[in-house]
Structure 1
């Protein structure tokens, strides 16, 4: 055990709201960087960095660089989780924001394949790794900072503010992407204009940094420090929660992640290349769905605080399963009206489970090891769900030429997550935090 200097943390309502707002703004900026890459991977990077490949192979290669960021996220989560449990949540979140912002800005400066050959995709992948590493420390840390400042009866609501950063970042990325595209001459955006949204990250990171520098440390971490409970190896202690509960918690989040990345990222490539939809139309559909997603999170977290999240999460999981059966077939009709309805349905249903999954995961671990444990589950779940979803979906479409295989894949994932959630909620009381046995007491 080791300690760090105690931190004085105000607990008044104004301070709590300031922290929640700061976490929302910070996560929005980080997800802007992450989703901007996803949009560019779906629409631009195959031509800029993989021109020697066929269109289908180039798209698959571009989505592979997108997935690299997910592979780096667990490592980032482990590193940031370790230091977040040892030196505090606030400082680690500042570092993660800087890493994301700098990497995104540099992506806007990477020469394309025609200029430097194979070094172009190599540099792209390296910067994507930095992005993923930085984001690996963001999701858990922001959720904990907000939730640990919350009053006892509003833990889900406060934990939901960082979750709102996901759709907000997506909307911001798409708005900047579409606006830049609309203001440029024909062909100029694909040639070099796509760099402007990435370079804009430099401005956003300055804004986010100023905001986070004025945020107070988490009361829970301050309490851990004052009681000399800082763990030397927090991840090791977090694993004492047990493989069974951690596996079930991991399983319940995979469906939401996979479905979200299919409708946010994969459909942009599939819809333009296979179904001949206009690029701006699809980005607009995704953006409107994300606005609904963003706006409904406070409603669902409020429901969870008043009535419990068990029934809400299970009901949302069933709704997600049902909508996955019709989503891609509706796009496949070629009807703009049905396509808009399909995306609006995603905007309504996805936030039901997404809004509380951060709180569910965080409540699995006690405060001294919460950052490490939460980061581990979040980032592994992100790989198994979101990171692989665009690649698997593209491969299935490439193999069959249709979307039936993707629909079956999403249904299987939804059934798996629903089963994990049902078993977990049957075994664990609502919002129960498992105390982690201390190694010395266990030895005794």
Structure 2
């Protein structure tokens, strides 16, 4: 484990989302998350979690290693399982050689068209490739994925999709290919597969709306991998998660995803200190405040509490406390570690902005202390903010203060009032519902 204080370890463990995300992830996707928990749990706990994840897969060597760490020895029956896996591998490898050889032929590739039915007829007539042989590609792809050979799995599933006319099997292969591309860290290809899945999930006619809700929830969780690891990934995350259908899915089925939505809003390029007045950022921030206010009864963590303290309660001391707690989450959450620094930097700018918006007289020494800055750094922060947001301000250098002249009814103040009203209304609805249940 790392050198966190007991208090920081308690925060990290209390707000660890692993147990909430596991039901919506493939077990192979859970593994890198579990590995990242070494900072807050000891190695034996991690080994047990890893064993529980993979003991039913075909990754026998890895499973052996985990058994040795957890129990000190390897169960005898694992050798028999390993032999059977090798036998199945040899069989599937032989059964797919013919079709893979045909697909590698350039003349065959040139003959394949968009119409899968015509392709199927051509391959069966000219090369003896039947539907049963095509389905072996899916079987072998799933087998290779279960063995941990994600590159081979991705290739096999891709070839299967080119030929198969079975829509359900094609969708299954797309989920598998997305997982394989994530695990082989091919973010560009993973984003392409994610787009395909979104189109399927959003366009299909589901007999049960709950099924579509579940599918969207899976898309949301799987998308965290490429979104937090790709160039411009945060912007793509915000476009998806802020859409009405996915935002309502988050609220209904996975409110803990608000952590990642907050992180993306605060850390995206549109929210840097040079873009505080950006209308895109302001719109996203407004929607975020509304949702955090509505969901605080259902899900809370230091990031949601930070937004609540700053934008709903205007409690700057509490906002700073929650930001300190959030810094622990940012260091220990698998998805957020890469953006921890920019999140904390941008959060300080947001605190400064709100502080200036709701005060007429600012003591630079006080605000510098709250932000853990020197007085000189604090002066630069305030000066930059005033310039960026076009505030009407007068600086008194001798007193170390800034006098701000606010418009009587700025758009910002209107947003604040509407947010307060929405939060109050939401609480009324909740109270009414609880009373009816009682």
- Fold shared by both chains (TM-score > 0.5): no
TM-score by length of 1: 0.22
Higher relative contact order (CA 8 A, sep 6+): 1
Structure with the largest fraction of helix? 1
Between structure 1 and structure 2, the one with the greater Rg is 2
TM-score by length of 2: 0.22
